[in-house]
Amino acid sequence: MSTVSSLSRRLRLSRAADEFALTAVMLFLAVTVVRWLRDPDSALYVEDLDAALAAIGGLSGAILTGLIFSPPGRRSGGHLNPAVTVSLWLMGVFPGRSVVPYVLAQLAGSAAGTGLGRLVWGPAVSLPSVDYAAIAPAPTWQPTSVFVAEAGSMTIIIVAVGFTMAHARYARLVPYVIGLSVALVIAVLGPRSGGSINPARQFGPAALAGQSTDLWIYLVAPVLGAVLGAWLHHLLSRRRPLTRKVRVPASKQSPPEGNAAAGVSRRSSIRTPAATGVESLPGTLPLPSRLAIDVVIRDTPLHCIWMNDIQTSKDGFPSARPPL
């Protein structure tokens, strides 16, 4: 038992280290983009703030999507955002024991990436127009409006991500949904509320820039929005139709004793992508040796999710590749 616990702890720390590296890269690139687009002495300087933020939003969304698809992103899940980590835990697709390591790694990676940007690009990063890429609301926006905008944006994103994840045929689009959502929020809300929606995005830049006035809003509002988004996800899921029955041709059914070899127990469940409820399988129901397209088996005892005869997650972490 101690060996299993040790391996589990090492796995959690390894995945948290991936989150640290990913967040550090994200912040370094964020500082780099802002430095080149907002430094008046830069060849790529964009004077108009709205146009600059539209470009920053598009680049940020593309960078985020690429990081999620990178090898470290595939191993850790590519959260890069404490609010996303909390929401996935509340939606039941991420282990609670990994929430704190992930959040601490993301915040530390934010500071490290911002510091690396200052080291690489020098004094230009500390110019008022760049200011370590720290986010600030428009002077006309009150703290209450900023809080509502940041929390509301995160709520909408989490609902969209939850809807996409709930349908197996669309699950592969989640990184694109996240990247596009971030790009739109930065482009639309950047000139107004700041468009952070990520505590890690603001933590490092604000800490190095000494910008602490509105920092609490950018740390708390996205997490609150994530909690509301997870709650709405559960509410909408309960209102959807129950799982429809899956008809398996007799010619493709395996004998009952094959269930044990497949790791399916009485507590396992099977569902189709069009449904959201979970229907328990009788212990004697034989399963097909090769599952039909878009059939998902949630194996509760083994903490696995199998999709189309391929293990897609283990202990809340996505599998890097199907088992041999």
Rounded CA separation 130/40 (Å): 10
Q: Give me the amino acid identity at 104.
A: L
β-pair type (304-307, 269-271): unpaired
Q: What is the pLDDT of residue 124?
A: 94
Cβ neighbours around 279 below 10 Å, total: 14
Report pTM.
0.73
Q: Residue 304: beta bridge partners?
A: 299, 314
Torsion of CA 194, 199, 202, 206, to 10 degrees: 120
One pLDDT digit (tens) per residue for the chain, 324 residues: 567 778 888 888 999 999 999 999 999 999 999 999 999 999 999 999 999 999 999 999 999 999 999 999 999 999 999 999 999 999 999 999 999 999 999 999 999 999 999 999 999 999 999 999 999 999 999 999 999 999 999 999 999 999 998 888 888 999 999 999 999 999 999 999 999 999 999 999 999 999 988 999 999 999 999 999 999 999 988 866 544 444 555 554 544 444 433 333 333 343 434 333 333 333 333 333 333 444 444 444 444 444 443 444 554 445 544 433
Work out the number of other CB atoms within 10 angstroms of the CB of residue 222: 30
C-alpha 20/C-alpha 106 separation (Å) is 5
Q: Are 113 and 55 in contact (CB under 8 A)?
A: no
Q: In degrees rounded to 5, what are phi and psi of residue 313?
A: -155, 155
